[in-house]
Amino acid sequence: MAGNPPVIVHPPEPSGGRRVTIRGKQAGTAYNLFDVLKFLRRANLPETDTAVDDPELIEWRGGGPEAWGESPP
């Protein structure tokens, strides 16, 4: 792991989605990669496709950008 990235995408939850924290604060629940990019944009962080693979920016816990829980009802 590379230091303390400002964004943490937590493991998929059984009810669907993944919690996202930015700089230690809850940003919301992401149900897909587009949601993560939206949270990055709101926090004025890079939102390019390559940003999601940058360990200096995002720590993916419980699976990478391809791992998601079930979609909300």
DSSP 18-47: EEEEETTEEEEEESSHHHHHHHHHHTT---
Q: What range defines the domain where residue 26 resides? A: 7-60
Task: Please report whether residue 70 resides in a domain.
Answer: no
Task: Please report whether residue 68 resides in a domain.
Answer: no
Tell me the pLDDT tens digit for each residue of 7-23: 999 999 987 899 999 99
**Structure token pair of residue 47:** 């939102």
Task: Please report whether residue 52 resides in a domain.
Answer: yes
Half-sphere exposure at residue 22, Cβ-oriented, CA atoms within 13 angstroms:
16
Q: Report the domain count for the chain.
A: 1
Tell me the pLDDT tens digit for each residue of 59-68: 999 999 999 8
What is the pLDDT, as a whole number, of residue 71?
54
Name the phi and psi angles at 40, rounded to 5. Answer: -60, -45
Percentage of the chain surpassing pLDDT 70?
92
**Structure token pair of residue 41:** 């944009």
Q: Give residue 50's pLDDT band: very low, low, confident or very high (50, 70, 90).
A: confident
Task: Indicate if the pLDDT at residue 70 is higher than 90.
Answer: no
